[in-house]
Amino acid sequence: MNVSELQAVRDKIAQGWTQEVCARDKYGEETASWENEAVCWCLVGAAMATRTNTFDISKALGISGIAAWNDHPGRTQAEVLSRIDDAIARARSLKQEGN
């Protein structure tokens, strides 16, 4: 998985994060992740919004079942961002090793 794909997903989650649905609008109502009304996303919704393969995200984050992991009670936006940041760092390291 390349850094730009991970960064795109991270940007969505940093903008706004949610649980239990793929995306929400400014009123907190469920909406499609690709709609302009979407203002926050779960990991699956952020992947869908950025056209990133959810299997690739799951593998890069080292998580099987990213929807369940994202929606786990007590999970925070900071934890999600940290996990993505770790994956970005690994992807950058692998890219440097390959050059």
Q: Which two tokens stand for residue 25?
A: 């609008």
CA distance 63 to 2: 17
CB 12 within 8 A of CB 41: yes
Task: Evaluate if residue 97 carries a pLDDT over 90.
Answer: no
Residues 60-85 pLDDT 10s: 999 999 999 999 999 999 999 999 99
pTM > 0.85: yes or no: yes
**Would you kindly state where each structural domain of the chain is located, as residue ranges?**
3-98
* Alpha carbon 1 to chain centroid, angstroms: 13
Q: Can you tell me the distance from the alpha carbon of 34 to that of 48, in angstroms, rounded to the nearest whole number?
A: 7
Residue 28 amino acid letter: G
